[in-house]
Structure 1
Amino acid sequence: MIKQLRKIFSTLVLYNEISDKSRDKYKWYMTDGGQVIGIDRKELTEKDSTLLHMFLHPYNFSIPEMTAEEKQWKTSISTEISDNTNSLTYRFIYFSYQPFQIEPESFKEAINEFYARQVPILFENDHEGIIVETNPNEDISYEQIIDVLMSDLYVKIKFVVGPYLYTLSKAKRTHQILIDGANKIFSYSDKSVSTYIDAVPFILIDQIESDTRTDIIDSVLGEAIHDQDLLKTVETFIACNLNVSVTAKELYMHRNSLQYRLDKFTEKTGIDIRQFHQAMTVLLAIYINK
């Protein structure tokens, strides 16, 4: 259908073919197959629009208008502030979901259902941004938010929880670190909820030279590098804090089968991953291998 439409509308583009800055000049539609296409508004007549509405779904990329509080926070993360007064406690929560799953306005409404007051939400684009928490006493479960949004709205979302901050002078730098860290976490990990602490190993990995990465993989993982099921078992065991019972339950595996796999890894590498420091080295090598 896209090829046929392009014969009629020469300006037709797909969502990922243009930059965010150029989107406003297009009128956007979603096909039944989930593809988002845009056609230059200047090319569309009223009759064209009426016809397209009969078999395409209009798609709105608009970001909700910012509240006064959101504008203040936008200024705080965009400019250098020298104020070091301990006047408030806050933290940034990065969120990301797949494009086209939900409109930003609907997402904002859904998120605010979990808070006692409306929280500032700063969109980076139509599918990712920052939630600003200014009340550390609220007990917010981001795992629960994910479960609810998935079951009610079929939106699959990821969060990265930043540290608590006490001065506005750190807002800009911390915001940028969180954005960069989130991109690194999602490149290596499938976790739905992570913290800024989780990003540290990945930041370090990106600073290691390519040859050194290869040396670490070869020297630590050895022959086990070719057994992806074994590496997945080891990674899960470490993620479960070296707890055999929890790991077996997570992998739907009998304890004896799990013990066999762990012993097999030791035979292949000479590393006892039941020892904390050795386990951390193995986990780093697995991340690098990814």
Structure 2
Amino acid sequence: MWVTKRKRGYDMLENLLKQFPNAVLQSLPPVDFDTYHWFFDPANERFAGVSKTEINEDQLTLLQILFPFQKEEVFRTISGQADAWHQFLFQKQQELPAHTKNKVRIIQFAIFSESPDLLDFEALKEALQSIFSHNVTIGMMSANDGFIVEEKLDAPLAEEELLSAMDAFESDFYIKSMFYLGRFADLDEDFTEHFAAEQRLFHFARSSFQGEKLFSFEKVFPVLLVKELNKAPHLEQLNFITEIFAEDHELMTTIKTYIENQNNTSLTAKQLYMHRNSLQYRIDKFSDLAGIDLKTFTGTLTVYLACLQFEYLNL
């Protein structure tokens, strides 16, 4: 599926170049909005600029349907430090964009709006900056995707803080959002490879998780691992567990939530709006059916992998 999508994107870009042979292609965010209309090709991660003197209204409307149209205000603040980071991360510029002994992480985000023309990107960036107790660098990769560079200081942003902030500005700006909270790493010549791996994880998460909007390595990697293991026969040995879940989907939700709450019965019962006795009955029922003790680490790990496999196969 991924190859087909990329090939289609390549064909669309080729057709654009045939129609507009003087079009400009680049990976860096566009700057010259006076001369060009800019479009983004997500399959090839490149911007295409078509001269305003070479395109009519009908052609512009068609291209806006085929490619995400890039608005000037989205990129107005991409200069200075944000531009240096963009060149370092995406153009593989060897010069480091900053000099610090502290570790650094990239927080990726994607925003979705039903009325993108009404979205105030300047105000949105101010809202993003206000989440942090110190200055961060915010840049856009396209009209929908951006990144935040956070240096590890005394109090780095916690997941709970980010989730709360996401709820607030989703309500304020009438948008939906997804974030990937990257890991802190040394800012050196290997940092771009570290970030590229996190980009792949975020891309996978956006297409593989339903109803989730905040991701991290520890949340995404186990699911990716299950996906890769599904290509081999080993996970078939978990069928005796997934068959139990197939008979009772709510039981899978109960067990997965219980494990994610560190086997805390009170917290799980509260989260699932269930009486503790009812929860314990369902846990005991599963243990009897599967013959696995959830009080052991290995038992919990095995069952959690089965939960992830069941969810992945039933997306």
Report if TM-score (shorter chain) is over 0.5.
Answer: yes
Q: When the two structures are aligned, how many residues end up with a matched partner?
A: 248
Distance apart, 1:76 and its partner CA: 1.8
1:225/1:80 CA distance change after superposition, 3 Å = farther
Matched with 2:103 is 89
State how far apart, in whole Å, the 2-side matches of 1:184 and 1:216 are: 25
Matched with 1:176 is 196
Unaligned runs of 5+ in 1: 1-17, 28-39, 49-58
Pair 1:131-2:148 in alignment: yes
Deviations 1:111-154 (A, max 9, x none): 11223455222323222222110242244321221132133233
The RMSD of aligned alpha carbons is 3.2
SS in structure 2 opposite 1:168?
coil
Pair 1:71-2:83 in alignment: yes
1:26/1:176 CA distance change after superposition, 3 Å = same
Unaligned runs of 5+ in 2: 1-39, 62-68
Deviations 1:245-285 (A, max 9, x none): 00000001100111111112112211222322211211112
SS in structure 1 opposite 2:215?
strand
Deviations 1:171-222 (A, max 9, x none): 2112111111123334146443332222221232232243526504413333
SS in structure 2 opposite 1:126?
coil
1:5-44 aligned within 5 A = 19=41, 42-44=56-58
State how far apart, in whole Å, the 1-side matches of 2:167 and 2:138 are: 20
Residues 99 and 126 of structure 1 are in contact (CA less than 8 Å); yes or no, is this contact kept in structure 2?
no
Structure 1 residue corresponding to 2:269, chosen from 248, 253, 277: 248
Structure 2 residue corresponding to 1:153, chosen from 155, 164, 173: 173
State how far apart, in whole Å, the 2-side matches of 1:114 and 1:245 are: 31
Residues 224 and 265 of structure 1 are in contact (CA less than 8 Å); yes or no, is this contact kept in structure 2?
no
State how far apart, in whole Å, the 1-side matches of 2:235 and 2:156 are: 43
SS in structure 2 opposite 1:72?
helix
Deviations 1:3-23 (A, max 9, x none): xxxxxxxxxxxxxxx945688
State how far apart, in whole Å, the 2-side matches of 1:223 and 1:112 are: 47
Residues 294 and 300 of structure 2 are in contact (CA less than 8 Å); yes or no, is this contact kept in structure 1?
yes
Residues 157 and 192 of structure 1 are in contact (CA less than 8 Å); yes or no, is this contact kept in structure 2?
yes
Q: TM-score, normalised by structure 2?
A: 0.67
1:70/1:156 CA distance change after superposition, 3 Å = same
Distance apart, 1:107 and its partner CA: 2.5
Deviations 1:5-58 (A, max 9, x none): xxxxxxxxxxxxx9456886699xxxxxxxxxxxx961359xx9xxxxxxxxxx
State how far apart, in whole Å, the 2-side matches of 1:212 and 1:91 are: 36
State how far apart, in whole Å, the 2-side matches of 1:244 and 1:282 are: 17
Matched with 1:231 is 252
Q: TM-score, normalised by structure 1?
A: 0.73
Matched with 2:308 is 287
Q: Which amino acid aligns with 1:111?
A: L
Distance apart, 1:106 and its partner CA: 3.8
SS in structure 2 opposite 1:242?
coil
State how far apart, in whole Å, the 1-side matches of 2:240 and 2:71 are: 49
Residues 138 and 148 of structure 2 are in contact (CA less than 8 Å); yes or no, is this contact kept in structure 1?
yes
Q: Which amino acid aligns with 1:196?
A: F
1:226/1:160 CA distance change after superposition, 3 Å = same
Matched with 1:111 is 128
Q: Which amino acid aligns with 1:232?
A: T
SS in structure 2 opposite 1:91?
strand
1:91/1:172 CA distance change after superposition, 3 Å = same
